[in-house]
A = this chain, B = another copy of it.
């Protein structure tokens, strides 16, 4: 038994290391698309018509309107209309593929092409675990969740607002969040979008950690701006978009759509609306700084017209995502979309079914940046501690899936058939001995043993095993290395800016 556990531990350690060896996932299989040439043409024509006939509103920001006017868009008050083809022409300057650099170069990720990057959930004000239940998230939660994601090999990115640290004053939250991402992890992370000075602060902190010259020349932040669907961009999001575009940092334009309320009640119409919004906003990015990295993002949840609530794990959600990926490919933009979403309040079967449905759809679609890949409960109102490690295990399985199948001579194993013959057992075959450690993927969250063994080990449901894993990972956590001078510079920056922002109130 001890020998078995020893071997098991060695296998796990090896699996962990091998996963860590690659900072992102390179898929070797095709994408699953559900949209043919005729339907693509319909959606693209409809998006063009929406932009031409109805247009989009850019609110509270005269500079944006002036940029559009100067380049030939038709500005009428805050409404901007675009001739067919105008946006596509501007978008041509955006890179198809770029790198988001992490402060540890070995963790830098490719955005676009065959790369897939798995990133934590963004934005929940609550956390949940099975012992303490649901409560408002604090900065302690933010740090613990950042440490967890640093420890999980299947998670390539540290994310942004992994939870809202509601115990920190809003005007300084962004400083502490960026500080936590930079010190408790060395994976790439996201920039603040809630105010232009907060975007600037995040960029400054990256300069302290990675060098001013480097940050000026490279993309080190990945930031998501949401349109106010339908067809509105508000000033807060515009300011963040402009700030990151000016500095050459990446902006994801991700219309947030509850289908049936913020878009018409159909996949086809929502696709046209989202395409229109993304085209208009990415054009703006390219007018501000041609060649600045920009990403086509989507968040689509069909509204339950029975309860008025967003739904997840639905056929339409995955259909939408697969089609939108193809539209992004045709625009020449990397594609960002949602992962393991669920409406469930707890880490139950619903959470498993819905999350796997959403995540598997995203991975098969070839989503380049899978946001909300881990931790979502309650439709992004809550991050679940157990859910993080449960989701990460499923991410790892799908990451193996997209590697495709080995059809090499070794994998064909024709010698094994000759060795074993009809009615034999392959466990002892030479081929099995040589390949068993790496042949099949094995996670560590599923219980595959016998019923009797499961009972003997406490008859735990998956969320109970997950709870144990969370504790173990947090106990074993070791911070990534950081130069002491850099850490002091970051500490000083946060202290100085806190004083400036809060003034006498601090």
What residues of chain A have their CB less than 8 Å away from a CB belonging to chain B? 4, 7-8, 11, 29, 32, 34-35, 38-39, 42-43, 46, 49-50, 53-57, 79, 134, 228, 230-232, 259-269, 272-273, 302-307, 309-316, 318-319, 323, 343-357, 360-361, 364, 378-379, 381-382, 390, 393-394, 397-398, 400-401, 403-408, 411-414, 416-418, 420-427, 429, 431-432, 435-437, 439-442, 445-451, 454, 459, 461-463, 466
Residue among B231, B407, B422, B463 making CB contact with A349, cutoff 8 Å: B463
Q: Are A343 and B448 in contact (CB under 8 A)?
A: yes
Q: Are A39 and B405 in contact (CB under 8 A)?
A: yes
Let me know if A315 and B441 touch, CB within 8 A. yes
Q: Do residues A309 and B351 form an inter-chain contact, with CB atoms below 8 A?
A: no
A439 near B353 with CB under 8 A, answer no
Known pairs A49-B414, A230-B422; list 20 more (Cβ under 8 Å): A43-B407, A54-B422, A134-B451, A230-B417, A261-B425, A264-B417, A268-B407, A268-B411, A269-B416, A272-B412, A303-B440, A309-B450, A315-B398, A347-B349, A348-B352, A349-B351, A349-B462, A352-B354, A356-B356, A382-B451
Q: Count the copies.
A: 2
Contacts of A394 in B (CB 8 A): 353, 357
Residues of B within 8 A of A273 (CB): 417
- List the B residue with the shortest CB-CB distance to A306: B8
Q: Which residues of B contact A462 (CB under 8 A)?
A: 344, 348-350, 353
Contact in complex: B349, A348 (CB < 8 Å): yes
Report B-chain residues with C-beta under 8 Å of the C-beta of A260: 426-427, 432, 436, 439-440
Contacts A260-B426, A353-B352, A422-B231 given; does A316 touch B266 at CB 8 Å: no
Residue in B38, B306, B411 whose CB lies within 8 Å of A267? B411
The 3 closest A-B pairs by CB, nearest first: A352-B352, A231-B422, A315-B401
Residue numbers in B under 8 Å from A424 (CB-CB): 230
What B residues does A311 contact at CB under 8 A? 440, 442, 446, 448
Selected from B49, B272, B354, B436, the residue in CB contact (under 8 A) with A305 is: B436
Report the bound CA distance from A441 to B348 in whole Å: 21
Q: Which residues of B contact A382 (CB under 8 A)?
A: 451
Question: Is A261 a contact partner of B427 (Cβ separation < 8 A)?
Answer: yes
Establish whether residues B306 and A442, one from each chain, have CB atoms under 8 Å apart when the complex forms: yes
Q: Which residues of B contact A429 (CB under 8 A)?
A: 264
Residue from B261, B350, B447 in contact with A426 in the complex, judged by beta carbons closer than 8 Å:
B261
Judge whether A350 and B352 touch: CB under 8 Å.
Answer: yes
CA A423 to CA B260, docked complex, whole Å:
14
The residue in chain B whose Cβ has the minimal distance to the Cβ of A360 is: B360
CB neighbours of A346 from chain B (8 A): 461
Of B39, B378, B412, B425, which contacts A407 at CB under 8 A? B39
A354 touches B446 (CB 8 A): yes
B315 touches A400 (CB 8 A): yes
**Contact A57–B447 (Cβ < 8 Å):** no
How near does chain B come to A46, taking the closest CB pair, in angstroms? Answer: 6
- Interface pair B357/A397, CB less than 8 Å apart: yes
Which B residues touch A427, using CB under 8 A? 260-261
Asked whether A461 and B348 contact (CB < 8 A) given A260-B440, A264-B413, A435-B266, the answer is: yes
Check B349–A449 contact: CB distance below 8 A: no
Partner of A230, one of B134, B312, B426, B431: B426
The reply to whether A34 and B42 contact each other, CB–CB distance below 8 Å, is no
Set B34, B348, B449: member contacting A309, Cβ < 8 A? B449
* Residues in B whose Cβ lies below 8 Å from that of A265: 413, 426, 431-432, 435-436, 439-440
10 of the cross-chain contacts (CB-CB < 8 Å) are A4-B306, A232-B423, A259-B440, A263-B426, A264-B426, A264-B431, A267-B405, A310-B448, A348-B349, A349-B390
- What residues of chain B lie closer than 8 Å to A49, measured between beta carbons? 414
In the assembled complex, the Cα of A354 lies from the Cα of B43 at a distance in Å of 35
Q: Which of B29, B230, B266, B303 contacts A406 (CB 8 A)?
A: B266
